[in-house]
Amino acid sequence: MEEIEEMELGEEIVHIIPLGHEIDRAVKPFERYKANRAYILSVTDGFGKYSREMVKEQEYYVNTVTRILEKYGIKVILRNVDMFNILELIKNISNIIVEEKSKGNQVYVNISSAGRLASVAAYLAAMAHNAKAYYVVADRYSTSKMEKKKHGISICEKLRINFLETFRMHLPKENEMKVLIKLCEKPEGMKTSDLVVYLASQGVEAFKEQAGKKWEEISRKNKINCLMKLNKGILDKLEANGYIKREKVGRYNTIKITKAGIYVAYISGKLK
């Protein structure tokens, strides 16, 4: 079993724990390993579609795990997340990883403390951002209400952790990701001219001379130059990977994000 690495000076160890009806699988690693901070992601609000009874039951596991972790001296941060929406899970986990790694911290992601959907989302986010994913092995499963209240669904009598291999996903480059995130906010699509103006406003080097200008204020020569840079430098690559599609509407191209592109935007860690 791979060991959790020693901290370097000024570095903190952070765990992300998507939480379902589990206790042992969420807290068992901290009997041996130290951590500074743990994020618990769970449904603590009904989002207008989940029953109060369901939320109340989940709150029991959140409160129990929080109490145990705090006894270990770990700061707990709660995030209310729709655990049945894979995109919301991916977005929230990715955002935390990106934020914590930007501070130079080690990030570990528990992929065994919730259901299958959360496991998939957690593993994808860990791979995308080079975090360490781990799976806490259960010895057996609860067979009574009393056991479930004490341990959660899974009972871990001995600490056994499998650290999963992660390979770095090749996410789109920064400017390509800017386009995907913007298109995510505009599902109806955007004209190429509007994308040029947007990228110029974001300080993108290839379009910085047009910053502060409306499309109508850009000279014809510069328009042609900007559109060539946009198409060849960004849109062609995104389309080749299946992240966008071009639709001809009259004289203009409308750029729309695909389902694959939406997943990539959510996994970027930059979508708020």
For residue range 66-91, what is the model confidence (pLDDT) as tens digits? 999 999 999 999 999 999 999 999 99
Report the share of the chain in percent with pLDDT over 90.
Answer: 89
Q: Are residues 127 and 74 in the same domain?
A: yes
Mean pLDDT of 98-104: 97
Task: Report the pLDDT value the prediction gives residue 1, as an integer from 0 to 100.
Answer: 39
**pLDDT recorded at residue 126:** 96
Identify the CATH number of the domain in which residue 130 sits.
3.40.50.10770
The overall longest dimension of the chain from CA atoms, in Å, is 75
* Domain-located, residue 6: no
Phi, then psi, of 103 in degrees rounded to 5 = -95, 0
Distance CA 218, CA 185 (A): 25
What is the per-residue pLDDT across 186-195, written as a single tens digit (0 to 9) for each? Answer: 999 999 999 9
Same domain for 213 and 99: no
- Give percent of the chain above pLDDT 70: 96
Specify if 2 maps to a domain. Answer: no
Tell me the pLDDT band of 5, cut-offs 50, 70 and 90.
low
**Is residue 56, in this structure, part of any structural domain at all?**
yes
What is the mean predicted confidence (pLDDT) over 16-42?
97
Same domain assignment for residues 158 and 28: yes
Does 40 share its domain with 152?
yes
Residue 168 placed within a domain: no
How many CB atoms within 10 Å of residue 167? 7
DSSP 152: B
Q: Is residue 208 part of a domain?
A: yes
Structural domain boundaries, residue 187: 174-267
The predicted pLDDT at position 125 comes to 97
Do 143 and 259 lie in one domain? The reply is no
Q: Are 207 and 213 in contact (CB under 8 A)?
A: no
Whether residue 7 has pLDDT greater than 90: no
Do both 156 and 36 map to the same domain? yes
Q: In this structure, which long-range contacts are made by residues 43-50, counting pairs with CB atoms below 8 Å and at least 24 apart in sequence?
A: 43/80, 43/81, 43/82, 43/83, 43/84, 44/78, 44/80, 45/80, 47/82
Q: How far apart are CA 255 and CA 191, in angstroms?
A: 6
Same domain flag for 97 and 152: yes
Residue whose pair of structure tokens reads 């480059």 in the numeric block: 173
pLDDT band per the 50, 70, 90 thresholds, residue 168: confident
Look at 41 and 271; give whichever has higher pLDDT.
41
Structural domains of the chain, count: 2
pLDDT(6) > 70: no
In the listed set 163, 183, 203, which residue is the last one of a domain according to the structure? 163
Mean per-residue pLDDT of the chain: 94
